[in-house]
A and B are shown apart, each in its own frame.
Chain A
Amino acid sequence: MSEHLIIYPIIVHLITAVLLLFFWMKPKIQRYISILGGGVGIVIAALLFQRVWSSGIQSIQLGNWEAPFGISMVADTLAVSLILLTNIVAFALAIYSTENMVSSRVKFGYYAIFHFLIMGLSGAFLTGDLFNLYVWFEVIIISSFVLLTIGGRKIQIEGAVKYFTLNMISSIIFLTGIAMVYGATGSLNMAELSRIIPEIENQGLIQTISLVFFIGFGVKSGVFPLYFWLPASYHTPPAAVSALFAGLLTKVGIYAMLRVFTLIFPLGEVNQIILMVIAGLTMFFGGIGALVQKDILRVFSYLIICHIGFMVGGLSLFTEVAIVGAVMYMFHDIIVKATLYMMGGVMFRIFGSTKLRNMGGLMDNYPRLSLLFAIPLFALVGIPPLSGFWPKVSLFSASYTAGEIAMLVMFIFASLITLVIIAKVWNKSFSKDAPKLERKSSFKYFEDFSFSEKAAYVVPIIILVGVTLYYSFFAEHFQLVAARIGEELMNTEHYYNAVFGIK
């Protein structure tokens, strides 16, 4: 039984989702089940993390079909850390959704789909088979389509059309890549591919195929020329859904890149340059885009793009230190970006709008809330000792030692432009005087909330800010985990041996 622990993170959310379907029209019970499911998810993820940490990479062959023939599930340190973070964010969001999601939306099956999405994420992190990864990606995107359109407001539908089209095209490109890999190698098991690929004579072909994957994952993670769907759709759904997407969906693209470009197609020199240029442009255009936006949620959308550049940049340098930096940045980004959108939801309730010009006076009217909100904002900039600072140390030093000064300059540029943007957000929403706006009569403002409603909004933010603070002051724990991930990613024999049961 105990070796099945690897697939429990998937099963927990599957069971929760199916259970929720039985309480279709009972939003109140659904809320409790969802929070319970999220809690159990954290416990299971922590157990799995502890197992992998103490006894190395775990693997299981589904249906007992031996390794290259069946589907392998592999839990290495990268996968389990991401699953743990995913479950923490999911738990916080389950609490956040209790007030953020009105009952009519819950009755459309919000919670069930939410847990199906988390299930898909866990599956994508755990799978050791390329085609299976595609299937989990489809589970993720079809759940995200439903979450994006739930409620069906005009702007949501319009955002969903864009989101849907680009994600479908990305899946098709990913599948094209899979077909090509299968044609070239005759295998789809990631561990086996890591052994077959280096022996193929025509390495030019392999590097080209790997770029097909890069385009597929690039759309999902929102790199430079492929990101336009992201700022067009992420601000349209309710804050809980945006937070989920912002924290986790783009990162699953980065995860797939990290996995594919270390294990299956180690980056060649040309691909390294291509990735570097794209990472630089992503940071540039994401930063510039965020600078001109006037809606706080759209500012955050562009910041997501800007910071994707850090992770792609870290991968493109392709040294162990750089990968450690990229992985650490990913951990920080998952938590902070989810917090930002949750904050956006609270600000929407306070001001009745997400436009920056309608905001102001947050610091005078809500001093304690402002202090809470300041932490993720400053962590995003990377003010030491907050969490954004630590991965940047690794990334800066890796790009300097690799002699890639242009990359270093782009990293610094992205950090500075983030500072400018956060300063702007701070000025407009926190320290500027509150504008005199008419109160909307049919709108429930934050100040009218009862204590429990306020708590449902603020407690999840406190949980995630707590994680950020833990990351900030005990960064050496995250550094240890990331160092081990870097070691595992750069030396693929660990992964291979775990899948094929070689001791």
Chain B
Amino acid sequence: MEILLAIMTGILYAAGIYLILRRSLVKLIIGIVILGNGVNLLIFLMGGLVKGRPPLIAEDGKMLEGIFADPVPQALILTAIVISFGLQSFAIVLIKRAYKVLKTDDIDTMNKTDDIK
């Protein structure tokens, strides 16, 4: 299972970077979204996978016993998902606005800010 997730993470990173390198604004944003998902999967993987052992304390117990799934990465991922959701919604509004104002979605033609005049 770990090896599968590791390969999946690699694919997501590769796909994300490939899309970021494309010339279209929309593909750029999709690339960032995919890259973000790749990171979330990586955090999940780094916490170690434990099957069927939720980190719950038994009713009569005082502490967790034996091997249990690490709850921290899930909390981290949840936070990261919420943050990236906010940023992505901003990004989509931004590219819509950029398309309206600049009348292009080709990143190569966006070089007004780098003119030396």
CB within 8 Å of B: which residues of A?
131, 134-135, 138, 141-142, 145-146, 149, 152, 154-155, 157-162, 164-165, 168-169, 172, 175-176, 178-180, 182-183, 188, 231-233, 235-236, 292-295, 298, 355
Annotate B47-75 by CB proximity to A: 1 below 8 A, 0 otherwise. Answer: 10000000000000000000000001100
Chain A residue numbers with a CB within 8 Å of B98 are 157-158, 160-161
> Bound state CA distance, A233 and B83, in angstroms?
23
A155 to chain B, nearest CB (A): 6
> How far, in angstroms, from A374 to B83 measured CA to CA in the complex?
43
State whether B39 touches A172 (Cβ < 8 A).
Answer: yes
Q: List 29 A-B contacts (CB under 8 A).
A: A134-B80, A141-B87, A142-B86, A145-B94, A152-B97, A154-B102, A157-B97, A158-B110, A158-B112, A158-B113, A161-B25, A161-B94, A165-B20, A168-B87, A169-B32, A169-B35, A172-B35, A176-B42, A178-B43, A179-B42, A179-B45, A179-B46, A182-B73, A182-B76, A183-B45, A183-B47, A293-B116, A294-B116, A294-B117
Whether the pair A157, B90 counts as a contact (CB closer than 8 A) is no
B85-117 residues with Cβ-Cβ distance < 8 A to A are 86-87, 90-91, 94-95, 97-98, 101-102, 107, 110, 112-114, 116-117
- Report which residue of B47, B107, B114 has the largest number of chain A beta carbons within 10 angstroms of its beta carbon: B114
Task: Look across to chain B and name the residue whose beta carbon is closest to the beta carbon of A131.
Answer: B76
Q: Return chain A residues, CB-CB under 8 Å to B36.
A: 172
Minimum CB–CB distance from B63 to chain A (whole Å) comes to: 13
> In the complex, A159→B101 CA distance in Å?
12
Name which residue of chain A comes closest to B117, CB basis.
A294
B24 within 8 Å of A by Cβ?
no
Chain A nearest Cβ from B94, distance in angstroms: 6
Interchain CB contact under 8 A, A158 and B102 = yes
Q: A161 to B95, Cβ gap below 8 A?
A: yes
Q: Please name the residue on chain A nearest to B107 by beta carbon.
A: A161
Contacts of B39 in A (CB 8 A): 172, 175-176, 179
Residues from chain A with a CB closer than 8 A to the CB of B32 are 165, 168-169, 172
B42 to chain A: closest residue by CB: A179
Give A164 to B113 CA distance when docked, in angstroms.
14
Least CB distance, B67 to chain A, in whole angstroms = 14
Decide: A131 and B47 in contact? CB cutoff 8 A. no
Q: Which of A157, A176, A294 contacts B102, CB < 8 Å?
A: A157
Q: In the assembly, what is the distance between CA of A149 and CA of B113, in Å? A: 14
Known pairs A158-B110, A182-B43, A236-B113 / 5 extra A-B pairs, C-beta < 8 Å: A160-B94, A161-B25, A178-B76, A182-B76, A232-B113
Point out the residues of chain A lying under 8 angstroms from B95, CB to CB: 161
| B46 to chain A: closest residue by CB | A183
Check B94 against A149 for contact (C-beta < 8 Å): yes
Contact B20–A169 (Cβ < 8 Å): yes
Name the B residues within 8 Å of A233 (CB-CB). 113
What are the residues of chain A within 8 A of B101 when measuring CB–CB? 152, 154, 157-158
B51 → chain A, closest Cβ, in Å? Answer: 18
> Which of B43, B86, B110, B116 sits near A179, CB closer than 8 Å?
B43
Q: Which residue in A131, A157, A295 is a CB contact (below 8 Å) of B94? A: A157
Contacts of A235 in B (CB 8 A): 113
Residue of A nearest to B28 (CB): A165
Task: List residues of chain B with CB within 8 A of the CB of A135.
Answer: 79, 83
Cα A295 to Cα B116 in complex, Å, equals: 8
Instruction: Give the shortest distance, in Å, between A217 (CB) and chain B (any CB).
Output: 16
Residues in chain B near residue A182, CB distance under 8 A: 43, 46-47, 72-73, 76
Between A157, A179, A180, A188, the greatest number of chain B beta carbons within 10 A of the residue's beta carbon is seen for: A179
Q: How far is the CA of A179 from the CA of B70 in the complex (A)?
A: 13
Complex-state Cα separation, A231 to B28, whole angstroms? 21
Which A residues are in CB contact (< 8 Å) with B28? 165
CB neighbours (8 Å) of B25 from chain A are 161
Distance in angstroms between the alpha carbons of A160 and B112 in the assembled complex: 12
Which residues of B lie under 8 Å from residue A160 when comparing CB positions? 94, 98
Residues on A with C-beta less than 8 A from B79 are: 131, 135
Q: Which partner residue on chain B sits nearest A235 by CB separation?
A: B113
B43 x A175 contact (CB < 8 A): yes
Closest to A69 in B: B72
Query: How near does chain B come to A93, taking the closest CB pair, in angstroms?
Result: 23
The contact of A155 among B72, B112, B117, by CB within 8 Å, is B112
A138: chain B residues at CB < 8 Å are 83, 87
A171 CB, nearest partner CB in chain B, Å = 8
In contact, A142 and B102 (Cβ under 8 angstroms): no
Q: Would B102 and A164 count as touching, CB distance under 8 A?
A: no
The 7 closest A-B pairs by CB, nearest first: A183-B46, A179-B43, A232-B113, A179-B42, A179-B46, A175-B39, A138-B83
B-chain residues with CB within 8 Å of residue A168 when the two chains form the complex: 32, 87, 91
**Contact residues in B for A298 (Cβ distance below 8 Å):** 116
Nearest CB to that of A186 among chain B residues? B70
